[in-house]
Structure 1
Amino acid sequence: MVAVVVAAVLFAVNGTVAKLAMTSGLGPTRLVELRTLGSALVLVPVAVLVVRRRMALRRREVLVMAALGIVGMAAVQWFYLVAISRLPVGLALLIEYTAPLLIALWARFVLHELVRPRAWWGLAASLVGLTMVAQVRRGVELDAVGLAAAAGAAVALATYYLLGERLVATRDPLSTQAWSLAFAALFWVVLQPLWTFDATVLATTTDLPGPLTGTTTPTWALVAWVVVLGTVVPYTLVLVGVQVIGAARAGLLGMIEPVAAAGAAWLVLGESMTGLQVAGGVVVVAGVALAETARVRPAVVVPEPVVTEPVVTEPVVTEPVERITSPTLP
């Protein structure tokens, strides 16, 4: 549980850092490519050194791993970028984080798993809280492409949780995340060849706002943050959490991210939060806590020791049996 919460906070902070990186002239699509490629270059060698023997891919895992990287990582980032280019960021994020609801529906109606009623109440409270944080209201112009992209991001995020849960059931999170990043990086490199990228943009500097006003940082440092603390560490923590608590509960805990993202933007970018947004954040946390308490741990029944008395058997006395021979047939 702690791993998923820490991952959500890192993802939230990463949104602010990525926004600062894009103000330096680095396009969002190119940033996504650098994010996945850089993360793969960092994590794959680490995984080879740490879990070399577990890096081998079985034939039945190749397609699932490729889907995890392309759909669960590359696609979810691209869909989100398209959505926020056409919709308010809060609304796009709200739609994306209906992913836990999709996971719960999949578990209930496709996998036929038991979903406790309290989990549904917690999920409903979280969605209401996210609506308050996003301040969805009348007058917001809805774009069909933006809505479709946000819905695609939700499906891709749910896919990441579900496929990750399936893979980490038989292999470790580190090798799983390394392979998924490798597939995501390959996907983006094919779509956007590196020779089309002007690397001089990484040498530019960016002025930091908020409490860090008056200081500057090179763009490459922001990209490095996005790669390491915005991708490698949190995604690996998510898979660790999925391995322990499952996809549904990990998705619910991940709903803390929009609240933390709003707080990070408030502190660093000066994007103030209204009282309604703060109240919505409290509702989200309460909903997550409610869903968390819905977990039913099976009681461990310790069988009472069975005392058996020794069975005394009397010796069996057999009488001598006279041998009977058949008459010789003519």
Structure 2
Amino acid sequence: MSSAVRPGLGYAFTLASAGFFAVNGTVSTLALEAGIPPTRLTALRCTGAAVLLVAFLATTSPRRLRVRARELPLLAVFGVVGVALTQFLYYVAIGRLPVGIALVFEMTAPVWIALYVWLVRREAVRGRLWFALLLSLGGLVLVAQVWQGGGSLDGIGVAAALAAALCLATYYLLGERGTVGRDPVTLTCWSFVAAALFWAVAAPWWAFDAAVLGEQVPVSVGDVRLPLWLLIGWIVVLGAVVPFWLSISALRHLPPTTAGLVATVEPVFASVVAWLWLEQVLTGWQVAGGLVVLTGIALAQTARTARPASAAPLPETPAPLST
């Protein structure tokens, strides 16, 4: 028997997911400042999430873990580009940019998706796409404050955030294909597995000194110091698995487009958390630019006139799995 559709619960799940992802941006920044490189932090997050999701499915529904040979190429690209590289590039970005600014750049993914389906797939799109593109690009100009000697933001950070947006767009587009024959939970599980295997090769575990996880690191709350492993545990459980589960659960009660629009509050949440916790202060122009970009993203989310029935957005966004 299917459960009743309760939109209020869907909104609550989506907002909670965005909140967890937003806090995760600040916790990840603390881990990066403690000396964990983006490659290792991404490997820890992907591997931890993969282990937890595989363990859960193996315990509750092992049949769902079966993989057909023809699925392997898609799962590999989905996991490496959509998960491993998206998260890595996001960590590079927040190591050089305020968390909220990095998210604003990354969450332009829906704009690039709409352009792709129009240019490559020849899908019909609504005229609002062009206004969405104009708003997004104009908002990014304000966020970067390009009139200040070529911009006020770190160039590598901006490039990483924009590259993360393209990887996130790939994640959504491949997710449309992947959910044709596989439910979102197992699809995301195997994408984390593929990402974990990628990082096991790109950043071998034997080169990692696990003793650093026991180091006490400052968390920007008075003189409080916590073991690094506790921050990593948060990033894996409350920064990946829990918000992912909440966003998937929300799709039982809300249409994907609605959930995607609500999830755009994540950069706002992330900026507030980073401001209160890390004292990352944004200028008035950056705040205004961020709001303009989010308006463009909201329009782009609804620019496609015909989307596949299986095209439910998968969670890391907006993030996030990115945040």
- TM-score, normalised to structure 1, is 0.74
Structure 2 residue matching 1:272: 3-state secondary structure: coil
Matches within 5 A, 1:38-57: 38-57=48-67
Mapped partners of 2:171, 2:251: distance in 1: 10
Q: d(CA) in 1 for partners of 2:26 and 2:157?
A: 21
- Aligned to 1:206, the other structure's residue is in SS state strand
For the pair shown, the structure with the greater C-alpha radius of gyration is 1
1:99-146 superposed Cα distances (whole Å, 9 cap, x missing partner):
212100122233333322335434543554454445444323888876
* 1:307 alignment counterpart: none
Q: Match for 1:179 among 187, 190, 193?
A: 190
Q: What is aligned with 2:69?
A: 59
Deviation at 1:190, TM superposition (A): 1.4
Q: Partner of 1:25 in structure 2?
A: 35
Deviation of 1:275 after TM superposition, in Å, equals 2.8
Summarize deviations over 1:61-89 as a string: whole Å, max 9, x none.
Answer: 21111111111011122334455667787
Corresponding residue number in structure 2 for 1:258: 267
Report the CA distance between 1:206 and its aligned residue.
2.0
Q: 1:289 to 1:267 in 2, by over 3 A?
A: same
Output the CA distance in 1 between the equivalents of 2:86 and 2:96: 16
Q: Distance in 1 between matches of 2:160 and 2:293?
A: 24
2:113 to 103, 123, 135: 103
Q: 2:236 pairs with 227, 231, 236, which one?
A: 227
- Counterparts in 2 of 1:121 and 1:271: CA distance versus 1, 3 Å: same
Partner of 1:277: 286
For 2:18 and 2:130, locate their aligned partners in 1 and report how far apart those are by CA, in whole Å.
21
- Counterpart Cα distance in 1 of 2:304 and 2:164: 27
1:215 paired residue number: 224
Q: Distance in 2 between matches of 1:180 and 1:144?
A: 30
Tell which deviates more after alignment, 249-258 or 187-196.
249-258
Change (3 A) 1:113 1:293: closer
Given that 1:11 and 1:234 are in contact with CA atoms closer than 8 Å, whether structure 2 keeps it comes out as: yes
Aligned Cα root-mean-square deviation (Å): 3.5
Which of these residues, 12, 33, 37, is aligned with residue 22 of structure 2? 12
CA 291–87 in structure 1, closer or farther in 2 if over 3 Å, else same: closer
C-alpha distance in 1, partners of 2:103/2:92? 12
User: Contact between 1:77 and 1:153, CA under 8 Å: does it hold in 2?
Assistant: yes
Deviation at 1:288, TM superposition (A): 5.1
Q: Distance in 1 between matches of 2:34 and 2:276?
A: 20
Q: Percent identity?
A: 48
CA–CA distance in 2 between the matches of 1:280 and 1:260? 16
Instruction: Map Cα deviations across residues 16-50 of structure 1 (whole Å, 9 max, x no partner).
Output: 10111122222222111111111111111112223
| Partner Cα distance (2:32, 2:141) in 1 | 27
Q: 1:78 to 1:238 in 2, by over 3 A?
A: same
**What is the correspondence of 1:1-330 to structure 2 with a 5 Å cutoff?**
2=11, 5-82=15-92, 93-122=103-132, 124-139=134-149, 140=151, 149-209=160-220, 212-237=221-246, 245=255, 255-287=264-296
Letter in 1 for 2:275: W
Amino acid at match of 2:64: R
Q: Is the 8 A contact 2:109 2:168 kept in 1?
A: yes
In structure 1, distance between residues paired with 2:168 and 2:296: 20
Inter-CA distance 131–238: structure 2 relative to 1 (3 Å threshold): farther
Shift of 1:235: 3.8
**Deviation, structure 1 residue 265:** 1.0
User: What secondary structure does 1:273 align onto?
Assistant: coil
In structure 1, the gaps of 5 or more residues are 298-330
Q: How many residues align?
A: 294
> Counterparts of 2:111 and 2:238 in 1: how far apart (Å)?
27
Q: 1:286, 1:146 → 2: CA distance? A: 23
CA distance in 2, matches of 1:30, 1:108: 37
Partner-residue secondary structure (3-state), 2:226: strand
| Deviation at residue 208 of structure 1 after TM alignment | 2.3
Task: Give, as a single letter, the amino acid of the residue that structure 1 aligns with 2:44.
Answer: L
**What is the CA–CA distance in structure 2 between the aligned matches of 1:9 and 1:242, rounded to whole Å?**
17
- The separation in 2 between residues aligned to 1:120 and 1:253, in whole angstroms, is 21
TM-score of the aligned structures, taking structure 2 as reference length: 0.75
Q: 1:129 to 1:257 in 2, by over 3 A?
A: farther
* Worse-superposed segment, 44-53 or 196-205: 44-53
Contact 1:207 1:215 (8 Å CA) reproduced: yes
Asked whether the 8 Å contact 1:102–1:155 carries over to 2, the reply is yes
Cα contact 2:106–2:164 (8 A) shared by 1: yes
